[in-house]
Amino acid sequence: MASQEMEELVRREYKEGFVTDIESETVPPGLDEDTIAFISRKKGEPDWMLEWRLKAYHQWLKMTSPSWAHLDYPPIDYQAISYYSAPKRDEDRPQSLDEVDPKLLETYEKLGIPLHERAALAGVAVDAVFDSVSVTTTFKEKLHEAGVIFCSISEAIRDYPELVQEYLGSVVPQGDNYFAALNSAVFTDGSFVFVPEGVTCPMELSTYFRINAANTGQFERTLIVCESRAEVSYLEGCTAPQRDENQLHAAVVELVALDDAKIKYSTVQNWYPGDEDGKGGIYNFVTKRGDCRGERSHISWTQVETGSAITWKYPSCMLRGKDSVGEFYSVAVTNGRQQADTGTKMIHIGEGTRSTIVSKGIAAGRSDQSYRGLVKVGPRAKGARNFTQCDSLLIGDTCGAHTFPYQEIGNSSAKVEHEATTSKIGEDQLFYCQSRGIGEEDAVNMIVNGFCKDVFQELPMEFAVEAEALLNVTLEGAVG
Amino acid sequence: MSDEQRFLDRLAERNAQRGDEPTWIAARRQAGAARFEAFGFPHRRIEEWKYTNVRDIARGDFTLATDAEFSPATAAALTLPLDAYRLTFVDGVFAPALSDLGSLPEGVQVMPLSHALEENHEAVGGPLGRLTGVDFSSFAALNTAFMEEGAVVRLAPRTVVDKPIVLQFLSRAGEQEVMSHPRILVEAGGRSEATLIEHHVGDAEAANFTNLVEEIILERGAILSHYKLQEAPLKDRHIASIHIEQARDSRYVSFNLNLGGGLVRNDLVSDLNGEGAEAIYNGLFYGQGRQHVDNHTLVNHNAPRTFSRENYKGILDDRAHGVFNGKVIVKRDSQQIEADQSNANLLLSDRAEIDTKPELEIYADDVKCAHGATTGQLDEEAIFALRTRGIDEQTARGLLTLAFAGEVMDRVDLDAVSERVELTVAGKLPERFNLAGLVETASAFNEE
pLDDT category at B5 given cuts 50, 70, 90 is: very high
Distance CA(A232)–CA(A124), nearest Å, equals 12
The mean per-residue pLDDT over the stretch B175-199 comes to: 96
DSSP helix/strand/coil, B153: strand
Gap from B248 CA to chain A (nearest CA, Å): 23
- Hey, which of A6-10, B73-77, B442-446 has the most confident mean pLDDT? B73-77
- Residue predicted with more confidence, A461 or B434: A461
| Cβ–Cβ contact B45 with A under 8 A | no
CB pairs below 8 Å between A and B: how many?
117
Tell me the C-alpha distance between B244 and B184, whole Å.
Answer: 11
Return the axis-axis angle of helices B415-428 and B393-409, rounded to nearest 10°.
150
pLDDT in tens, B119-141: 877 778 778 888 888 999 999 99
Mean pLDDT of B38-50: 92
Return the closest-CA partner of residue A326 out of A286, A408, A379, A381: A381
DSSP label at residue B100: B
pLDDT of residue A123: 34
Nearest to B214 by CA among B242, B255, B182, B244: B242
Q: Is any Cβ of chain B less than 8 angstroms from the Cβ of A394?
A: yes
Chain B interface includes A443 (CB < 8 A): no
By CA distance, what is B374's nearest residue in A? A417
Under 8 Å between Cβ of A375 and A408: yes
Contact of B332 with chain A, judged by CB distance below 8 Å, is answered with yes
pLDDT digits (tens, 9 = 90+) for B304-346: 999 999 999 999 999 999 999 999 999 988 889 999 999 999 9
Contact (CB<8Å) A423/B369: yes
- Closest Cα partner for B261 from B225, B288, B227? B288
> B47: nearest CA in chain A?
A68
CB contact under 8 A, A423 and B367: yes
- By C-alpha distance, the chain B residue nearest A69 is B47
Task: Label residue B219 exposed, middle or buried (CB < 10 Å: 0-12, 13-18, 19+).
Answer: buried
Cβ within 8 Å of B, A 417-436 = 417-424
SS3 state at B146 = helix
pLDDT at A188: 83
Please calculate the CA angle B333-B336-B340 and round it to the nearest 5 degrees.
Answer: 115
- With beta carbons less than 8 A apart as the criterion, state whether B308 and B301 touch: yes
Alpha-carbon distances, residue A383 vs A113, A317, A349, A355, A403 (angstroms): 45, 17, 11, 12, 26
In this prediction, residue A95 carries a pLDDT of 47
Closest chain A residue to the Cα of B346, Cα to Cα: A412
pLDDT band at B160 (very low <50, low <70, confident <90, very high): very high
Task: Express the helix, strand and coil content of chain B in percent, nearest 5 each.
Answer: 25, 35, 35
Q: Determine the residue type at B213.
A: V
Judge whether A105 and A97 are in contact, CB under 8 Å: yes
Closest residue of chain A to B379, computed from CA coordinates: A415
CB < 8 Å to A475, chain B: none
**Cβ(A234)–Cβ(A266) below 8 Å:** yes
Contact B356 A407 (CB under 8 A): yes
Which residues, other chains included, contact A163 with Cβ-Cβ below 8 Å and sequence gap of 6+? A149, A156, A194, A225
Closest CA of chain A from B352, distance in Å:
6
Nearest by CB to B375, from A68, A395, A414: name it.
A414
ipTM: 0.83
Q: What are phi and psi of A41, to 5 degrees?
A: -70, -45
- The answer to whether the Cβ–Cβ distance between A424 and B365 falls below 8 Å is yes
Hey, are the CB atoms on B355 and A409 less than 8 Å from each other?
Answer: yes
Q: What percent of chain B has pLDDT over 90?
A: 73
CB atoms near residue A213 (< 10 Å): 22
State which residue of chain A sits closest to B317, comparing Cα positions. Answer: A412
**Contacts with A414 from chain B: Cβ below 8 Å:** 347, 375-376
Q: Chain A interface, mutation test: which of B365, B374, B397, most A Cβ atoms within 10 Å?
A: B365
Q: CB-based contacts of B89: which residues, under 8 Å, 6+ apart? A: B68, B95, B112, B149, B150, B167, B168, B169, B170, B180, B182
Decide: B198 and B169 in contact? Cβ < 8 Å: yes
Residue B69 sits at the chain A interface (C-beta within 8 Å): no
Chunked in runs of 10, what are the mean pLDDT values of chain A (480 residues)?
47 52 66 90 90 95 90 87 62 48 50 45 41 48 85 89 95 94 90 94 70 56 95 76 62 96 90 75 92 96 88 95 96 89 96 95 90 94 94 87 92 90 83 89 82 84 71 58
Cβ pair A415:B365 closer than 8 A: no
Do A23 and A88 meet the contact criterion of CB atoms below 8 Å apart?
Answer: yes
Concatenated DSSP letters for B212-262? EEEEEEE-TT-EEEEEEEE---TT-EEEEEEEEEE-TT-EEEEEEEE---S
Contact indicator for B210, B177 with CB cutoff of 8 Å: no
As a dihedral over the C-alpha atoms of residue A31, residue A36, residue A37, residue A41, rounded to 10 degrees, the angle is 130
Tally DSSP H helices, then E strands, for chain B. 11, 21
Average pLDDT over residues B223-232: 97
Closest Cβ opposite residue B365 in set A397, A402, A417: A397
Candidates B362, B366, B367, B379, partner chain A, best to mutate (most A CBs within 10 A): B362
What pLDDT does residue A204 have? 82
Q: Where are the beta strands (DSSP E) in B78-158?
A: 85-90, 93-94, 108-112, 150-155
Closest CA to A323 of A375, A381, A374, A377: A381
Query: Which residues of A fall within a CB distance of 8 Å from B365?
Result: 394-397, 399, 424
Interchain CB contact of B354 with A (< 8 Å): yes
- Least Cα distance to A422 among B30, B141, B330 occurs for B330
* Contact between A150 and A119 (Cβ < 8 Å): no
Which A positions 295-334 lie with beta carbon below 8 A of chain B? none
Half-sphere exposure of B406 (CA within 13 A, CB side): 10
DSSP, collapsed to helix, strand or coil, labels residue A225 as strand
Q: Looking at beta carbons, which residues of chain A come within 8 Å of B349?
A: 412
Cβ pair B360:A68 closer than 8 A: no
pLDDT at residue A9, as a whole number: 44
For residue B202, give the nearest of B170, B237, B166 by alpha carbon: B170
Distance CA A99, CA A92 (A): 10
CB contact under 8 A, A410 and B352: yes
Query: A461 in helix, strand or coil?
Result: helix
Instruction: Select the residue of B354, B363, B371 nearest A409 (Cβ to Cβ).
Output: B354
Q: Is B347 on the interface with A (CB under 8 A)?
A: yes
* Contacts with B429 (C-beta within 8 Å, 6 or more apart), sequence order: B317, B398, B401, B402, B435
- In A123-204, DSSP assigns E strands to 125-130, 133-137, 149-152, 191-195
Helix (H) or strand (E) holding B343: strand B337-347
> Residue A463 region, left (φ>0) first, then alpha (ψ -120 to 50), else beta?
alpha
Q: Which chain A residues are within 8 Å of B356, Cβ to Cβ?
A: 406-407, 409
Q: How far is A402 from chain B (nearest CA, A)?
A: 4
Cβ proximity of B226 and B216 under 8 Å: yes
Shortest Cα distance, chain B CAs vs residue A410, angstroms = 4
Give the confidence band of B438 by pLDDT, cuts at 50, 70, 90. low
DSSP string for B346-389: EE-STT-EEEEEEEEEE--SSEEEEEEEEEE---HHHHHHHHTT
Residue A457 distance to chain B (closest CA, Å): 25
CA distance linking residue B48 with residue A364, whole number of Å:
29
Contacts of A400 in chain B (CB under 8 A): 361-363
How many other C-beta atoms lie within 10 A of the C-beta of residue A285?
Answer: 25
Query: What is the bridge-based pairing of β-strands A85-87 and B367-376?
Result: unpaired
Q: Do A420 and B332 touch (CB under 8 A)?
A: no
Chain A residue nearest residue B326, CA to CA: A404
Contact list in A for residue B404 (CB cut-off 8 A) is none
Is the predicted pLDDT of residue B244 greater than 70, yes or no?
Answer: yes
Interface contact flag, A410 B353, Cβ < 8 Å: yes
Q: Which residue has the higher pLDDT, B267 or A110?
A: B267
